[in-house]
């Protein structure tokens, strides 16, 4: 398999930095996702790796080979675009065979590979269907099969599920992950959907305004965002800005004083006494303490302002000494706080991430 490195790549369109000094690596057989909002530079980065766009700066390597100056057809890549591009006048078998014929494969090899890739994408028996006879999800599977047939070293996906309905999208994302595991190919996948990225990726590059904000596993990005953008883009957060009141370098713990709230939590060693920081507290990580624990260190009194039942979750808006926080309750507990406006509660806010204040 192939290791891909895009080293310090930049692409400028006039004064606009579509991509700026981005460094991306996908290890052998790794599933890497580039995640970010529209216009962040993720598709441009992917197309630079594919050779469809030439970078103004930086180099692209496949293993130890510099492919920066090679055309896409000489990089041995498979590229799945956002819109399905099957030939409408060819049936499924002929669509898959197209790339193989261009490589002068024998009829026997074409038949074998067509059968093999249709099995991988679970589309056996569809060989003679026209593209017009396929659903959106089926057509995307055939598109993937056509790419796999040529045995590319690297698979590149540019938001392949964005035009498919939600239920089918949820199924296909796991199929793509399964295909990657079965083939062992290195894959780089672009999406704006964080749920999609979290479900299928080994590692994720989060981009904003042309730069890579953070790289990590889904768990690392969710539990330990390193920038305000990542903290706000990944999931939901309560942002509480304050100053470091106490800090114990030996244990990396301390206290943040923020708007009348004292938060006792893990504080990274780079933050010193008096530093202005932001505590990022996820609504689902806030615990309502039972009476026996209400006097524990770091317990915070609050009053419920609003209670919203959402089915599998009850969302509370609470006032903690003038700071409004979102609290999400799940399981049986969510039924205990319906119509609970005005009720006094005690919160545990220890589980949070601490980042520099903007």
**Per-residue pLDDT tens digits for 133-191:** 998 888 988 999 999 999 899 999 999 888 777 777 888 888 889 889 989 999 999 99
Cβ neighbour number for residue 40 with a 10 Å cutoff: 24
> Mean of the per-residue pLDDT values for the chain?
92
In this predicted structure, what is the pLDDT of residue 279?
Answer: 92
d(CA 170, CA 81) in angstroms, rounded, equals 18
Distance (Å) of CA 311 to CA 325, 326, 331: 20, 16, 10
What structural domains does the chain harbor?
4-230 (3.40.50.300), 236-356 (2.40.50.100)
**Per-residue pLDDT tens digits for 271-322:** 888 889 999 999 999 999 988 677 777 789 999 999 999 999 999 999 999 9
Question: Which band of pLDDT confidence, cut at 50, 70 and 90, is reported for residue 196?
Answer: very high
Residue 337 makes CB contacts below 8 A (sequence gap 6+) with 288, 304, 307, 314, 316, 329, 343
Phi and psi (nearest 5°) for 143? -60, -45
CB 244 within 8 A of CB 277: yes
Look up tokens 């494969």; give the residue. Answer: 105
d(CA 72, CA 222) in angstroms, rounded, equals 35
Handedness of CA 32, 37, 43, 48 (dihedral sign): negative
The answer to whether the pTM exceeds 0.85 is yes
| Pick from 215, 217, 184, 182: nearest CA to 198 | 217
**Per-residue pLDDT tens digits for 200-249:** 999 999 999 999 999 999 999 999 999 999 999 999 999 999 999 988 87
In this predicted structure, what is the pLDDT of residue 271?
Answer: 85
> Per-residue pLDDT averaged across 119-125, rounded?
89
């Amino acid at each position: 398999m192939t290791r891909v490195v895009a080293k310090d790549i930049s692409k400028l369109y006039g004064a606009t930095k579509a991509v700026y000094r981005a460094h991306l690596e996908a290890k052998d057989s790794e599933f890497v996702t580039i995640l970010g909002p529209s216009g962040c530079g993720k598709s441009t980065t992917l197309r630079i790796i594919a050779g469809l766009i030439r970078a103004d700066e930086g180099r692209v390597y496949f293993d130890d080979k510099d492919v920066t100056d090679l055309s896409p057809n000489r990089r041995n890549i498979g590229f799945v675009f956002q819109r399905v591009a099957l030939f409408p006048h060819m049936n499924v078998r002929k669509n898959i065979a197209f790339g193989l014929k261009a490589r002068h494969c024998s009829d026997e090899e074409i038949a074998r590979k067509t059968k093999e890739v249709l099995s991988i994408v679970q589309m056996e028996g569809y060989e003679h269907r026209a593209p017009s006879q396929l659903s959106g999800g089926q057509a995307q599977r055939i598109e993937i099969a056509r790419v796999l047939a040529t045995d590319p070293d690297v698979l590149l996906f540019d938001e392949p599920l964005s035009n498919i309905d939600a239920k089918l999208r949820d199924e296909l994302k796991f199929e793509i992950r399964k295909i990657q595991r079965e083939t062992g190919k290195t894959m780089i996948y672009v999406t704006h959907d964080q749920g999609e990225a979290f479900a299928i990726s080994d590692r994720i590059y989060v981009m904003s305004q042309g730069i890579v904000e953070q790289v990590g596993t889904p768990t690392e990005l969710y539990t330990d965002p390193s920038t305000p953008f990542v903290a706000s883009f990944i999931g939901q957060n309560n942002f509480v800005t304050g100053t470091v009141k106490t800090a114990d370098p030996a244990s990396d713990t301390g206290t943040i004083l923020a708007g009348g709230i004292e938060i006792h939590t893990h504080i990274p060693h780079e933050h010193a006494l008096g530093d202005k920081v932001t505590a990022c507290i996820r609504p689902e990580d806030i615990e309502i303490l039972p009476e026996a624990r209400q006097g524990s260190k770091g317990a915070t009194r609050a009053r419920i302002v609003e209670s919203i039942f959402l089915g599998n979750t009850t969302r509370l808006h609470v006032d903690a000494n003038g700071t409004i926080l979102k609290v999400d309750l799940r399981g049986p507990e969510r039924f205990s706080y319906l119509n609970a406006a005005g009720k006094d509660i005690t919160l545990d806010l220890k589980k949070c991430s601490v980042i520099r204040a903007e």
